[in-house]
Structure 1
Amino acid sequence: MRRTTSLRTALSALLLIGTWATASALPASAAEAPARSPQAPASPGLLDAMQRDLGLSRDAAVARLAAEKKATATERRAREAAGAAYGGSWFDAERGRLTVAVTGEEAADAVRGTGAAVRVVRHSARQLDAAKARIDALSAPAGVGSWHVDPKANKVVVNVVAEHRDDNDVRAFLARARDAGPVTVRHTPAAPRTFAAGTVGGDPYYTGNVRCSIGFSVHGGFVTAGHCGSPGSAVYGWDRSYVGNFQGSSFPDNDYAWVNVGSGWWTVPVVLGWGTVPDQLVRGSAEAPVGASICRSGSTTHWHCGRVLAKNETVNYSQGAVHQMTKTSVCAQPGDSGGSFLSGDQAQGVTSGGWGNCSSGGETWHQPVNEILNRYGLRLHTA
């Protein structure tokens, strides 16, 4: 979508702000919108996207955001109460409540005192994380898409591309994975890929022949996906004016980067609405639990919403494995890489890659934003 000249002038700042453009190849653009009430749980546009993609009414979307905010706060208390018996947690959308897994009844009573529902399980989160770490040390064939700890299943889930389920190298990997700990196998329709795109028209930032978009604004620059550029690479805005350079970048193993901002560009705590929804203010980066709603905005597919499916997942891209990713049911397409993932007004991460598209559906991973901030010592620009 092409913005008008007047909007572009105001947008220059937003564009680099880290509003959240989509990574790898996303342009960042925003249309002006009236300021929202500080009490509002999210912008009208984000609520519209939740209604469309999650099948919710407006009231149900508002209620869900409130329940998820409460669950996020409860999770911190419940983890402390459970101690070594903690087995993970997830948000139950039907009940509007956080469920926490624990390995013993004594811990269960303590966790119930925090307001969370409880499920007693066999394996602690520490044991499952250790099993996943042993699997991380293995060399995975292309037929294995990803693996993560699933607290609800109380196992490590290994996702195998359906058409490769009978490959000898996949079978051998699964045998070694099962030796590492409790494992269950699920099938996925396609292998994961990054959502970078070649240079095309629109409102992107450019580096070399790659088009990418801003993730989130930080003081001094913005964060985005690591596969967008290498340290030192020059970055140019939608109008081809010089913006700054990649100050740090990691891919694979991680998929994050940050770019400094200067030369007349500046930052603001906004995720752009692309003229189809109002812009969304960013007020923090509290991490939403598994099962919570989450929305993504990108220059190719604009606003789409879904749920958090898994955390700390290892994604086996063709370029190499990327660790500690968050998997979502949100769709994405080429050009959406690096864009913003939000839960309410809380920054969650930058788009990395996935499979499928926004016509037939799919899954998308994001690199958690707090890891990026901690890695580079950055401070999120918030409203």
Structure 2
Amino acid sequence: MRRIGLTHACVAALLMIGSWTAAGTPPAAASDTQGSGSPAASARSAPASAALLQAMQRDFGLSPAEAEDRLAAEQRATALEPEARKAAGPAYGGAWFDAESEKLTVAVTPDADAATVRGLRSSGAAVRTVEHSARRLDATVARLDRLDAPSGVSSWSVDPVANTVAVNVVEGERSDNDVRRFLSEAREAGPVTVRTVRAAAETFAAGTVGGDPYYTGNVRCSIGFSVHGGFVTAGHCGGVGGQVRGWDGSYIGNFQGSSFPGNDYAWVNVGSGWWTVPVVLGWGTVSDQLVRGSNEAPVGASICRSGSTTRWHCGRLLAKNETVNYSQGAVHQMTKTSVCAEGGDSGGSFISGDQAQGVTSGGWGNCSSGGETWFQPINEILGRYGLTLHTA
């Protein structure tokens, strides 16, 4: 089993707990997978480990106090977002975290009544009036999902700040006939804005490299999050039944479920001397991060990723429910971030504070020149397979 350099006695105790809870606790129903505890309870917990705060300081240029304040504000916004969506009702136009004001901004259409707007503001949110409802924008994305996208179209998703559906086209491909035809059909589907990206999205699996967390065949990927009975990761890393070996070459388990393309998620059962632990690994360079739940962070929030190749990197959450057009096929309902990643990081953990967010799927760029990376949201994976996140 993997040797983990944990720095706190409480985490060492959790390791021992994990060794028997994994074996004795059956998977829960899908209804039990939407986070652990209430958002308010999570907001009252410690904001993050020293490792995550250090990574945020490095990647955002923040002081220690600024990093703590930022995470606390994001936790408040995370707790507020589902309530704001419910309060706005059909007038809801989306929401995002604004780093400058450290508030959640909630968009509403002009038909929102005055009482609703007053209620949102009294809750601590900023309010902006927009033309299109979130329902209309989501319907536009759904129409685009039914189109046959050429390789020159990288992805598409709702941009709540711009109140539009952003379609990302690879640089130099806009004049391609298939791309032009797709864009014409996209504009007929609803409010669309076309943007340019430097490169097409690719998955982050890699050929076998020694000393990394797990292998299947000749592919190296990264563990995402522990669940009772195993761990979740990216679907493109292996198919159902595929054998998984650990960093030391020993047998861990097999892929019990896997989906790619369409989705990009999978889960692996754990046995043969391995156990599950409710932490995100620092790979020996930073301390490990305890996982306490899976409350979904809003657009604009800071987010960090841990992977077996590039370790810790942080950035911002850019978009949700984005369709990514890989060469193997489109993957739906992904979340886009400004965090970099490289080959071998696939399947690795995305975390905001102490809340699990998702598993690394793919992106473009690297951690030298920068780029963007997508992840498959964790709660969707838990719900799909009836798994329970292993939390501290």
Partner of 2:75: 69
Q: Distance in 2 between matches of 1:348 and 1:67?
A: 17
Moved more, 237-246 or 371-380: 237-246
Q: Secondary structure at the match of 1:112?
A: helix
**Amino acid of the residue matched to residue 229 of structure 1?**
G
Match of 1:59 in 2: 65
Asked if the contact 1:144–1:316 (Cα under 8 Å) also holds between the matched residues in 2, the reply is yes
* 8 A Cα contact 2:166 2:195, kept in partner: yes
In the other structure, the counterpart of 1:273 is 282
Structure 2 unaligned blocks of 5 or more:
12-43
Q: Which amino acid aligns with 1:68?
A: E
Give the direction of change, closer, same or farther, for the CA distance of 1:339–1:364 in structure 2 (3 Å limit). same
Q: Is the 8 A contact 1:36 1:43 kept in 2?
A: no
Alignment of 1:206-225 (within 5 A): 206-225=215-234
Distance 2:256 2:203 in 1: 21
Q: Which amino acid aligns with 1:281?
A: L
Cα pair 2:91 2:112 within 8 Å, conserved: no
1:245 counterpart = 2:254: yes
Contact 2:214/2:244, CA 8 A, preserved across alignment: yes
Query: C-alpha separation between the residues in 2 aligned to 1:133 and 1:35?
Result: 48
Q: Residue 145 of structure 1 aligns with which residue? A: 154
| Structure of greater relative contact order (alpha carbons < 8 Å, 6+ residues apart) | 1
Tell me the equivalent position of 1:118.
Answer: 127
Q: CA deviation at 1:39?
A: 5.1
Aligned Cα root-mean-square deviation (Å): 1.4
**How many angstroms does 1:240 deviate by?**
1.5
Residue number among 319, 326, 335 corresponding to 1:310 in the alignment: 319
Per the normalisation by structure 1, the TM-score is 0.91
Q: Which residue is equivalent to 1:32?
A: 6
TM-score by length of 2: 0.89
User: Could you say what secondary structure the match of 1:164 adopts?
Assistant: coil
1:18-66 Cα offsets, whole Å, 9 max, x none, are: xxxxxxxxxxxx4222358995311111111101111111111000000
Q: Which residue of 1 aligns with 2:203?
A: 194
Structure-1 separation of matches of 2:214 and 2:326 = 24
In structure 1, how many angstroms separate the alpha carbons of the residues matched to 2:117 and 2:193? 25
| Total equivalences in the alignment | 357
What amino acid does structure 2 have at the position aligned with 1:33? Answer: T
- Looking at structure 1, the residues matched to 134 and 6 of structure 2 have their Cα atoms a distance apart, in angstroms, of 45
Give the fraction of aligned pairs with identical amino acids, expressed as a percent.
Answer: 75
The structural deviation recorded for 1:117 is: 0.6
Question: For 2:266, which of 252, 257, 263 is the aligned residue?
Answer: 257
Shift of 1:196: 0.4
2 CA distance for matches of 1:239 and 1:330?
A: 28
SS in structure 1 opposite 2:72?
A: helix
SS for the counterpart of 1:95 is coil
Cα deviation digits, residues 124-179 of structure 1 (max 9, x gap): 11111111101110001111000001111111000011111221211111010000
In 2, Cα distance between equivalents of 1:293 and 1:196? 24
Name 2:16's counterpart in structure 1. none
Amino acid in structure 1 at the alignment position of 2:380: E
Find 1:349's aligned residue among 352, 358, 362: 358
Q: Which residue of the partner structure matches residue 98 of structure 1?
A: 104
